[in-house]
């Protein structure tokens, strides 16, 4: 159905009072007290809080159920549910006029109005909308009973969309687990092959440069942890470093070098590895200090075979046994890496196995890609639900 004749136009400023947060300065921050809600705490619950130990005006206090609207940098509408807090600037606390609009309806209406807010925003470094322009935005709303019916319907539809999202995320996790499992099957079949440690087949293991890198494309391009992705080298988002000739020579990569993530705050990233191949026309590359370069004796082991083993369930288990934690970082050093045992058939047999491994890896990557491609559809479904709701079609 379309909007009924009972829908009436209002400006946002008529529907609620919008209280801007306090302009807290670093001098106001404390190690304890009430958390200060900044925009990043709304968009990412994992972000740490600053705290306020001093008394603030009641208008800046926030409690569970309060409606918050970020109007600078990131435009958004949120229902707060993380306990008593105080509100930072660039965020409105919306106090709905209960005679005109249901508070939950106003929240969903704001979500549907973000596009119009973005059109009226200005600024280059940090987009924002002034309070005057925000309050002048005109919307259409039905009477309160219809608002409450629409809210119930939106919640029902969003709940189903969330269930779909959870299923897709679970399916993606299962798909991502397929490759290590498939690789493990191949390596389990090599139980009769002799075991050799990485130290026995490596010509060299070395840490990369710790010199600070920059985004400006000047100097040697340096591969970092983000460039080691899904068993491959990703050449996007490169950083660069000006190095002396002798230092360049130490970290210069050659085709067949294996790069191994040795330290990170994420446990799952430690041990991620990929084999470097430069391709035609690319300059000399170096690598950063959070990576270990493993250069192997190719008469004993093929680099891709070693990379597949390290990314298999068996390889990950060996890495996990050697992983240590220090100051919130997970680590595995070069010495421990060199002790990892690898089943080592002949090089000719390794070549045969590589054909099977690469075929399975390709199939698994295609499955994971399809699952990742499906994830953004949930956000599109949520947007469509809101569009239909405020067009009177829900």
For 354-393, write each residue's pLDDT tens digit: 888 888 777 777 777 777 776 667 778 888 888 888 888 8
Say yes or no: 302 and 214 in one domain. yes
201-239 burial by CB neighbour count: b if 16+ within 10 A, else e? bbeebebbbebebeeeeebbbbbbbebbeebebeeeebb
Hey, what are 185's tokens?
Answer: 């099957």
Is residue 386 domain-resident? yes
- Does residue 17 register a pLDDT over 60? yes
Count how many residues are written for the chain: 394
> What secondary structure does DSSP assign to 121-132, as a single string?
-B-SSS-B--HH
Confidence of residue 124 (pLDDT cuts 50, 70, 90): low
CA–CA gap between residue 150 and residue 6 (Å, rounded): 14
* Token pair 């490596």: residue: 202
CA distance 199 to 189: 23
Which segment of 106-110, 282-286, 293-297, 378-382 scores lowest on mean pLDDT?
Answer: 378-382
Please tell me the total count of domains within the chain. Answer: 3
In a domain, 377, yes or no: yes
Which residue from 143, 136, 56 is spatially nearest to 102, judged by alpha carbons? 143
Q: Are residues 89 and 155 in the same domain?
A: no
Q: Tell me, what CATH number does 19's domain have?
A: 3.90.220.20
Same domain, 45 and 158: no
Average pLDDT for 333-343: 94
Residue 255 and residue 326 in one domain: yes
In a domain, 222, yes or no: yes
Q: Is 81 exposed, middle or buried (0-12, 13-18, 19+ CB in 10 A)?
A: exposed
Q: What is the pLDDT of residue 382?
A: 84
159 within domain boundaries: yes
What's the pTM? Answer: 0.58
Q: Are residues 336 and 356 in the same domain?
A: no
Report which of 382, 381, 376 is spatially closest to residue 111, judged by C-alpha positions: 382
> Does one domain contain both 245 and 374?
no
Residue listed under structure tokens 């709940």: 159
Q: pLDDT, tens digit, for every residue of 134-154?
A: 999 999 999 999 999 999 999
Question: Strands 91-96 and 16-20: what pairing?
Answer: antiparallel
Res 233 pLDDT > 80? yes
Q: Is the pLDDT of residue 129 over 60?
A: yes
Residue 1 has pLDDT above 60, yes or no: no
The answer to whether residues 249 and 309 belong to one domain is yes
pLDDT at res. 286: 95
Query: Are both 213 and 297 inside the same structural domain?
Result: yes
What pLDDT shows up at residue 101?
Answer: 96
Q: What is the C-alpha to C-alpha distance for residues 263 and 269, in angstroms, rounded to an integer? A: 8
If asked whether residues 337 and 352 sit together in one domain, one would say no
Indicate the SS3 state at residue 309: helix
pLDDT band at residue 113, thresholds of 50, 70 and 90?
A: very high
> What is the token pair recorded at 93?
């606390």
Is 186 a domain residue? no
Q: What is the pLDDT of residues 173-205, one digit of tens each?
A: 776 666 677 777 788 888 788 999 999 999 999
Q: What is the mean pLDDT of the chain?
A: 89
The verdict on residue 180 lying in a domain is no
What are the residues whose beta carbons fall under 8 Å from the beta carbon of 218, sequence distance 6 or more? 240, 242
Instruction: Work out the pLDDT band at 2, boundaries 50, 70, 90.
Output: low
pLDDT-above-90 percentage for the chain: 59
Q: What number is the average pLDDT over the span 208-233?
A: 91
Name 57's bridge partners: none
Distance CA 62, CA 80 (A): 8
- The residues, any chain, with a CB within 8 Å of residue 283's CB and separated by 6 or more, are 220, 221
In percent, how much of the chain has pLDDT > 70?
Answer: 95
In which band, very low, low, confident or very high, does the pLDDT at 126 lie, cut at 50, 70 and 90? low
**The predicted structure's pLDDT at residue 224:** 95
Tell whether 183 is covered by a domain.
no
Do the domain assignments include residue 181? Answer: no
Owning domain of residue 353: 143-175+348-394
On whether both 112 and 247 belong to a single domain, the answer is no
Which of 127, 142, 157 corresponds to the end of one domain? 142
- Pair (16, 120) in one structural domain: yes
> Mean of the pLDDT values across residues 308-327?
87
pLDDT tens digit sequence for 238-288: 999 999 999 999 999 999 999 999 988 888 888 889 999 987 767 899 999
Q: Are residues 231 and 245 in the same domain?
A: yes
DSSP class per residue in 320-366: HHH-EEETTEEE--HHHHHT-EEE---HHHHHHHHHHHHHHHHHHHH
């Amino acid at each position: 159905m379309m909007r009924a004749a009972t829908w009436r136009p209002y400006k946002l400023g008529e529907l609620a009072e919008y209280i801007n947060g306090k302009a807290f300065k670093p001098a106001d921050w404390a190690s304890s007290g009430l958390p200060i809600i900044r925009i990043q705490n709304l968009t990412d619950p994992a972000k740490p809080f600053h705290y306020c130990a001093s008394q603030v005006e009641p208008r800046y206090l926030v409690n569970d159920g309060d409606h918050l609207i970020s109007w600078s940098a990131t435009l958004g509408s949120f229902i707060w549910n993380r306990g008593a807090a105080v509100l930072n600037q660039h965020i409105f606390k919306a106090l709905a006029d209960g005679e005109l609009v249901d508070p939950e309806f106003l929240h969903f209406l704001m979500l549907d109005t973000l596009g119009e807010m973005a059109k009226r925003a200005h600024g280059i470094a940090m987009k924002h909308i002034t309070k005057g322009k925000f309050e002048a935005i005109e919307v259409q709303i039905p009477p309160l009973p219809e608002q409450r019916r629409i809210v119930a319907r939106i919640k029902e539809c969003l709940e189903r969309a969330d269930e779909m999202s959870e299923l897709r995320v679970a399916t993606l996790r299962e798909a991502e687990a397929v490759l290590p499992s498939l690789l493990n099957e191949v390596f389990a079949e090599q139980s009769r092959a002799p075991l050799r440690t990485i130290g026995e087949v490596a010509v060299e293991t070395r840490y990369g440069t710790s010199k600070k890198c920059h985004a400006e494309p000047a100097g040697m391009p340096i591969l970092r942890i983000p460039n080691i992705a899904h068993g491959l080298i990703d050449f996007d988002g490169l950083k660069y470093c000006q190095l002396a000739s002798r230092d360049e020579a130490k970290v210069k990569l050659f085709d067949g070098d294996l790069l191994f993530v040795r330290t990170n705050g994420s446990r799952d990233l430690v041990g991620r590895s990929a084999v470097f191949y430069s391709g035609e026309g690319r300059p000399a590359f170096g690598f950063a200090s959070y990576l270990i370069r493993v250069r192997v004796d190719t008469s004993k082991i093929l680099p891709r075979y070693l990379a597949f083993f390290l990314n298999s369930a068996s390889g990950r288990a060996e890495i996990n046994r050697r992983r240590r934690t220090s100051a919130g970082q997970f680590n595995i050093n070069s010495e421990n890496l060199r002790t990892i045992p690898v089943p080592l058939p002949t090089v000719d047999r390794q070549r045969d196995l590589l054909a099977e491994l690469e075929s399975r890896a390709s199939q698994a990557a295609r499955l994971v890609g399809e699952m990742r491609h499906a994830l953004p559809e949930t956000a599109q479904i949520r947007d469509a639900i809101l569009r239909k709701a405020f067009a009177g079609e829900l």
